[in-house]
Chain A
Amino acid sequence: MSDKVRRRDLLLGAGVVGAAALPIAGPAAAQAPAAKPPAAVHPAPAGYMFLKPSEQAFVEALVDHMIPADELTPSGTDIGVAVFIDRACSGSWGRGDRLYMQGPFKAGTANQGYQLPLTPAEFYQQGIAASNAYCRKTYGKAFDRITAAEKEAFLKGLQASKIELAGVPGREFFDMVYQTVMEGLFADPIYGGNRDMVGWRMVGFPGVSANNAENIKKYNDGMPFKAEPLGIADMS
């Protein structure tokens, strides 16, 4: 698919950019390779490990709506946010690592936090199914097929607790989805999102290299510190 080719190009490009720009000081520099031949660059594998086709369609439509392609970044799918969510669901977080899962399960107050008997991955799947059911009933189509204005109305309704989903707390589902979208936009690229560190470039976050004992003196006059960002893979 042309889409895949684009993604691959982007990744290869990212590797070259990353390799060309490693002007960092301090002990960290000793660990970072001075240059990497392009042949050593392994693009993050695309493809889904966990989400089913209908879920993939929902997630791609969602991340492209929340992170549309514009002058700042390519679309959410193209920067790997859908893959990030897939990996998050299939990984330890999605499977409920560190989640207290003993019953009885009861609905509490908002201040008591998460109380469902679902792992995050299960919650994702239930929420997607319930969202699609709602969208079909209201707009006649699944979420990925409705118009941008309808998507906007649906997401805003969920966020404001104005829309109720069958069997799933909508606001909590929205909060989890929103959190993972932000993670996919801004987490280190080793997790599959934030490809080419576009999220970091968008705001000017320099990533993991941070020997700033000198910079804190130099950059306290209101001028921005600018550097080619580095991720964990660039320094490993």
Chain B
Amino acid sequence: MAPRKLPPVDIVIVGMGWAGGIMAKELGPTGLKIAVLERGGPRSTQDDFNIPQIRDELRFHQRTGLMMDTAKDTLTVRNKLSEEALPMRRLGSFLPGEGVGGSGVHWNGVNWRWADQDLKIRSHYEQRYGKAYIPADMPLRDWAVGYAELEPFYEKFEYTTGVSGKAGNLKGKLQPGGNPYEGARAKDYPMPPLTPSLASNMFTKAATEVGFHPFPRPASQASQPWVNRDGQQLGQCQYCGFCERFGCESNSKGSPHITVIPVALKNQNVDLRTYSWVQKVLLDSTGKKATGVLYVNVKTGEELEQPADLVILSGYQLNNVHLLLLSGIGKPYDPKTREGIVGANYCYQVQGGVTLFFEDRAFNPFISTGSLGAIMDDFHYNQDFDRSKIGTIGGATLAMGGPHGRPINYHPTPPGTPQWGSEFKRATAKWYQGAVNIAATGSVMPHADNCLTLDPTYKNRFGQPLLRMTFDFHDNDYKVIGQATDAAGVIAKAMNPKIIAPGASRRSGWSVVPYQTTHNTGGAIMGAQPGASVVNKFGQSWDVPNVFVTSAAVFPHNSAYNPTGPVGALAFFAADAIKNRYLKKPGMLV
């Protein structure tokens, strides 16, 4: 049966997470007819994140209650091009959302500004270390946008989500206690930092003594009651310890469903349709113009065609790349010939660190919140840190002040402790309060083999090919995280714990099983020219100019920072260009 054709709209937005919410809020006041299609259901604090039900570690952590349903759609994974990719049959390594608010309802809220250390990465390394320093199989690229151009849009995002933090660089003047390596900001954070925990204070002291520059981690948890620029209210964070993977019952975590989405929906012309799963973007006979999207009402199974003049892909990074490939927009990347570009530069992050065990103090790990902790950038945004000694590109942050004490997942014991029996129980009882972790998070640079393509075998519930991920860590990534883990050991010693346990070595390659981060990037990268990139700096497709792409899919590489700061800033940046330029004169913006 042919899909039922709906009356046309001006704009279709696919996905109602952070980026989709920002787009809908910013474009709503144009008065144009906007349909937002979200594959999952509605979400409200009152009904979905209520106490006591939301404080359920089994349901929301173990059973991933708020995340995408892999029975409907998943991806296939493999480490190497020579392997056969097999389906990720359940969630593990990353946890994208499904439902209004997207991953933005269960994120951790660490909110960064990626500056020129990332945005001009290739130029920087070439200048400082020479052209030959960058390996031939590392397609490292400058972004098409610089920090100065993005700065006002970072501010917009921060003053929309709410961020608690301490500026390190205000208009070029360094501020004590903040990050000395950050890009200059015109305005301080909207709120003062969160209340530090014992772990934050100990790390700040020890890292400072060793000669580093720790600062409070920028947090989209409100350190005090706060009202954003749209009049949306955030409550004070209660440090409940149920943040990452959970929705916030007190509306203190900056989330789309309490900020951008309700503001967008005040515009009568914005029509949010939940349970609406977009399958592809429809193109006209030239293949250079989108005519709308095809979607399924997952509650009835009905297929619908929604004609539109402009299509904005605001799914999660993986979904956007998948939709581009399914729709035939842009030339797919072929890792064998290294030709094509859609699906190239897929990147991730690498984890390391050490666990410290103290006998004489209690950290109360359950009194905590997502972004709490102190962090340092001395091996990351600090460009004086000489990479040539270890031969790396990129870097890692080190942080302490753990996010939770939920006991199914958090009951650390020193290495060598039995994992069951009375000895296990005694060790768990003894160390639960006295353990603390220095977490190292490393950037991952693009590699010619790491990519996203369509799977030749496996299909989703709608009969469409799954996205296929080929990914492994490469030498640069291991060196970055190895150096940072060694440094974590040095800081740990300065705190004089009873035991220091090194993190598990990751030379065994990327595994889809344990959770690492939901910081997947690339696949629809931005650039200054077509051919070597999928979209321009506004996320506009070079091939089909009435299609825009948001999300971390447009990032040419991955930083050690969490990605949502630039996802939000770029969405505001693109919305501004669409509103003020594209809609007045549709066509290429660059």
Question: A residues near B, CB below 8 A?
Answer: 26-28, 31, 65-68, 70, 72-73, 92-93, 96-102, 104, 106, 108-115, 152, 155, 159, 178-179, 181-183, 186-188, 190-191, 199-200, 202-213, 215-217, 219-225, 230-232, 234-236
Which B positions have Cβ atoms within 8 angstroms of A? 51-53, 55-58, 62-64, 69-71, 74, 77-79, 83-92, 195-198, 201, 236-242, 250, 360-362, 364, 366-368, 405-408, 411, 419-422, 424-426, 428-429, 432-433, 457-459, 508-513
Q: Which among A31, A222, A225 is the interface contact of B360 at CB below 8 angstroms?
A: A222
Contact status A203-B364, CB under 8 Å:
no
B239 in contact with A216 (CB, 8 Å): yes
Decide: A93 near B63, CB < 8 A? Known: A112-B77, A203-B411: yes
Question: Could you say which residues of chain A place their CB within 8 Å of the CB of B242?
Answer: 210
Choose among A68, A152, A183 the residue that contacts B58 (Cβ–Cβ < 8 A).
Answer: A183
A222 in contact with B361 (CB, 8 Å): yes
Determine the chain B residues whose CB is within 8 A of the CB of A114 once the complex forms.
Answer: 89-90, 513
The residue in B58, B197, B242, B513 that gathers the most chain A C-beta atoms within 10 A of its C-beta is B58
Q: A70-B422, A202-B428, A219-B364 are in contact. Are A232 and B56 (CB under 8 A)?
A: yes
The reply to whether A224 and B362 form a contact with Cβ atoms under 8 Å apart is yes
B238 touches A115 (CB 8 A): no
| C-alpha gap A93/B237 in the complex (Å) | 32
| In contact, A205 and B366 (Cβ under 8 angstroms) | yes
A68-B422, A93-B63, A208-B52 given; A100·B88 CB < 8 A: yes
In the complex, how many angstroms separate the beta carbon of A157 from the nearest chain B beta carbon?
A: 14
Query: Quick one: closest A residue to B363, CB to CB?
Result: A222
Are B62 and A183 in touch, CB under 8 angstroms?
Answer: yes
Kindly list the 10 A-B residue pairs having the minimum CB-CB distance in the complex, ordered from nearest. A222-B361, A210-B240, A224-B362, A208-B55, A203-B432, A66-B420, A212-B239, A235-B52, A111-B511, A187-B58
Chain A: which residue is nearest B64 at the CB level? A98
Residues of A contacting B78 in the complex (Cβ-Cβ under 8 angstroms): 109, 112
For this complex, 9 residue pairs linking A to B, each with C-beta atoms less than 8 Å apart, are: A106-B84, A110-B511, A113-B92, A203-B429, A208-B52, A215-B367, A216-B367, A225-B362, A235-B52
Bound-state Cα–Cα, A132 to B474, Å: 43
Contact A111 B238, beta carbon cutoff 8 Å: no
CB distance from B328 to the nearest CB of A (A): 24
User: In the complex the two chains form, is B239's CB within 8 Å of A236's CB?
Assistant: no
A231 to B90, CA, bound (A): 28
Q: Is the CB of A225 within 8 A of B90?
A: no
Contact B89 A183 (CB under 8 A): no
Q: A72-B426, A210-B238, A222-B361 are in contact. Are A216 and B197 (CB under 8 A)?
A: yes
A70 contact from B70, B425, B457, Cβ within 8 A: B425
